Amino acid sequence: MNKIGKVVIFGGTHGNEMSGVFLVNKWMRNEETLKERLSSCPVRLHIANPEAVKLCRRYKDCDLNRQFSEKNYNLAKGGSDSLMYEIKRANELHEMILNTPVNEKPQIILDLHNTTSNMGCTFIVSSTADIFTLHMAAYAQIKIREEGFKCEILTLENMNYASTRNLSEFGLGIEVGPQPQGVLRADILKIQENAVFYCLDFIDKFNKGQKFSVTSVSTFGLVHRVGFPGLSSEVMIHENVQDKDYQELSHHELVFRTSSDKILSLKDVVNTEVLSNPVYPVFVNEAAYYEKDLAFWLASLKSVMLASLEVKI
Ligand SMILES: [Zn+2]
């Protein structure tokens, strides 16, 4: 594989996820901090959704992190004034990435997010076939765990939802929580910052010729969405599941309480076929998913073998 030519860091893809907004603004004021970690290629910083950041909302008109599609780029090129802001912004970011000089390719995107769920530090990778990004996530995962913080890798196989990771060959979502929307927590910020530093360390070592050996990594993959069984104002996630992201969930575990004091177990709301293998809840009670009627995802766990990785000189 060729040397990485450029790293792009996005904060504020969702305007109320404050760690990324804070860090990108901080590093823009002092870019030396990042050069100390990564001297072998440039790092470019962007507030991805500045209008949403101004409003301190997830988005202005629609979720930016679902708009990176050819269909939308063509719509934006049509130049209609009535287009939603995030469709125009996705096209601007796409043009910026496309117009990168050849000597700065391939480029990698690090996209910083927060979740209200108790997911610790989650590295989101689009595909288990992306060996480079998985090696990087596995390297950073070891470091984050050494600091005593929960850290997992989530792959979104066959779930292309037109995210920022679509913009370049390599893309990593760094999702850290729990943190309420619009709030900064110092402990969460530290982990978010260190996660970026470890990724930059990895890229620098790779660019300078370090070989990364064959290794296996455990990755979670989303298998089933669990919606609220009724209005989310009348049903809540049971305390036995709250904060239990990445912990195996038995079929008999209680997962919902209703306002009429009814209690539902996992097997009451999910069919047995989904439960034929062990399942693990993720994004439990994520505030941003209430508008999608989504209570949590169920994930499966698998081991992925990574071939060795070395820069081609
Ligand atoms: Zn987000």
CA of residue 178 to ligand 1 center, whole Å? 12
CA of residue 115 to ligand 1 center, whole Å? 7
CA of residue 308 to ligand 1 center, whole Å? 31
pLDDT confidence of residue 157: 85
pLDDT confidence of residue 313: 76
Structure token pair of residue 223? 């298998």
Structure token pair of residue 110? 């690090």
Q: What are φ and ψ of residue 89, in 5° steps?
A: -65, -40
Q: 58-85: per-residue pLDDT in tens?
A: 999 999 999 999 999 999 998 888 899 9
Indicate left, alpha or beta for 22 from its phi (over 0: left) and psi (-120 to 50: alpha).
alpha
How far is the C-alpha of 137 from the C-alpha of 131, rounded, in Å? 10
CA of residue 203 to ligand 1 center, whole Å? 24
- Residue 17 contacts residue 114 (beta carbons within 8 Å): yes
CA of residue 112 to ligand 1 center, whole Å? 7
pLDDT confidence of residue 4: 97
How far is the C-alpha of 75 from the C-alpha of 129, rounded, in Å? 31
Q: What is the DSSP letter of 307?
A: P
pLDDT above 90: residue 233: no
Mean pLDDT of the region 150-175: 92
pLDDT confidence of residue 145: 98
96 Cβ contact partners less than 8 Å away, ≥ 6 residues apart:
46
CA of residue 276 to ligand 1 center, whole Å? 31
Give residues whose Cβ lies within 5 Å of ion ligand 1: 14, 17, 113
- CA dihedral in degrees (215, 142, 283, 300; nearest 10)? 30
CA of residue 271 to ligand 1 center, whole Å? 29
pLDDT confidence of residue 140: 98
Structure token pair of residue 217? 């990594």
Other beta carbons less than 10 A from residue 7's beta carbon: 24
- Residue 223 contacts residue 274 (beta carbons within 8 Å): yes
CA of residue 305 to ligand 1 center, whole Å? 28
pLDDT above 80: residue 158: no
Query: E-assigned strands of 157-251?
Result: 170-177, 215-227, 235-237
Q: 241-293: per-residue pLDDT in tens?
A: 999 999 999 999 999 999 999 999 999 999 988 999 999 999 999 999 999 99
Catalytically active residues are 175
Given CA atoms 47, 51, 57, 63 in this order, what sign does their dihedral have? negative
Mean pLDDT of all residues belonging to the chain: 96
Mean pLDDT of the region 179-204: 98
How many residues are listed for the chain in this entry?
A: 313
